[in-house]
Amino acid sequence: MFEEMIYLDNSACTRLDERVLEAMKQYYFDVYAVATSEFGYSMGIDAREGLEASRGIIASKMGGSPEELVFTSGSTESSNMALKGVASALKKKGKHIIVSKIEDFPVLNTAKALEKQGFEVDYLDVDGEGKVDIESLETTIRDDTILVSVQQANQEIGTLQDLETIASVCKEKDTLLHTDATHSFTRVPLDVSKIPVDLVTISGHTIHGPRGIGALYVREGTPIRKWMDGGFQEFNLRAGVENIPAAVGFAKAVELVTPKENKKLAEMRDRVIDGAFEKIPDVTLNGSRKERLPQNANITFHYVEGESITLHLDMRGFAVSTGSACFSKSLEASHVIRGIGGDHERAHGSVRFTFGRYNTMKDADAVVEAISEVVEQLRVISPLRNEN
């Protein structure tokens, strides 16, 4: 029923790739046992092999070794595990944690929850493009800082952080670094054998893999405590029956991303940004022009409101998202746009376009055409435009 829909909300979730589903099927219908030890029965041993092979594929994609990768139910769990697990392991060493102001909710709200438990959290400011200021990071780190969490790429405005420099600062100050790479994993390079980041959150749902599967990379020797009680699965860090079909699907999804695809995404992104600036007056790009995710364009269309734009676009067959308060579940304007110094109005009129495997250049052209009409239509009735 949605064959005709042009779906441009791929940072929220992606369409599953058929090849991923194919790879998963055998672990639902044939090798459906839990992963047993090598002394178990043969179906369980095969299941374990499937799980471990997937772990190897994903870990090596980021330059890590298999025993450093813990499967989880997704990014939210991975980031909870990273922050709560490290905080619990190191609370005697210190109670100070640093996160950037524009982190996604799994990191941001976990930090807030830790604050209520007596940890002290500093929320790092970012500049107008969303980049963390390295000097301010240096001065914020204290002797009792136990963890810094800065994302690799932003979920809304796509800005990439200078992870290499951030990691070397943390290393120098002897502080652990966690990075949320939910939106950047496989889309931009990350090599933990070169960059000394200690913990990395990743997920399958952003790369045409299954949802409900993610992982946390935990560098060997990192102090971390189990935060959910149960069995001894996943190196005794994550209790519960392993989701082997999803882990296999996640690994397949990782294998299917190519540099060519990422280049194509960047071309569609540029087409939308350039097209919007060419055709529509009074627009602002949110985030960096150069250092941004290949799949992300985020633009504010001034004098109009985002929910009205998304509804009009939906009726024309496009799916996009907005940082407007009206669109959000909490009725609050995007903390990311506010964080880069934007006012409510800038958040209100912001629209995020995120591309995926099943989009084409024609989609990019079509959405620019549609949004230029919709924005014009809404500006005609806007009291703000007429004031200016």
Partner 1 sequence: MQFPYTEKVLEHFRHPRNVGKIENPDGKSMEGSPACGDMVAVYLTINDDTKVIEDIKFESYGCASNIATGSVITEMAKGKTIDEAKSISWKQAAEELGGLPPVKAHCSVLAVEGLRAAIRDYEEKHGLVTEKEPTTDEVIKRRLKHVMNPLTGLDVIRTDLILKTSVEDGIVRVVVDLPSDHQFASAIKEDIIEKLDSLWDVKRVEVVFTE
Catalytic residues: 326
Residues 344, 69: Cα–Cα separation, whole Å = 40
Beta strands in 150-289 (DSSP E): 176-180, 199-203, 214-218, 283-285
Q: Collapse the DSSP code of 165 into the 3-class scheme (helix H, G, I; strand E, B; otherwise coil) and give the result.
A: helix
Q: Which is nearer to partner 1, 201 or 308 (CB)?
A: 308
Contact 351, 301 (CB under 8 A): yes
Q: Which two tokens stand for residue 85?
A: 């697990």
* Main-chain dihedrals φ then ψ at residue 373, nearest 5 degrees: -70, -45
Q: Which is nearer to partner 1, 32 or 105 (CB)?
A: 105
Residues 176, 306: Cα–Cα separation, whole Å = 38
Q: Which is nearer to partner 1, 289 or 329 (CB)?
A: 329
Contact 356, 206 (CB under 8 A): no
Tell me how far, at minimum, the Cβ of 381 lies from partner 1, in Å. 5
Tell me how far, at minimum, the Cβ of 168 lies from partner 1, in Å. 35
**Nearest Cα residue to 71 out of 88, 58, 89:** 58
Q: Which is nearer to partner 1, 17 or 305 (CB)?
A: 305
Q: Which is nearer to partner 1, 214 or 306 (CB)?
A: 306
Residues 198, 178: Cα–Cα separation, whole Å = 6
The binding site for partner 1 (CB under 8 A) comprises 1, 112, 303-305, 307-308, 311, 315, 324-327, 329-333, 343-345, 348, 380-384, 386
Tell me how far, at minimum, the Cβ of 156 lies from partner 1, in Å. 18
Helix, strand and coil percent figures for the chain, each rounded to 5: 45, 15, 40
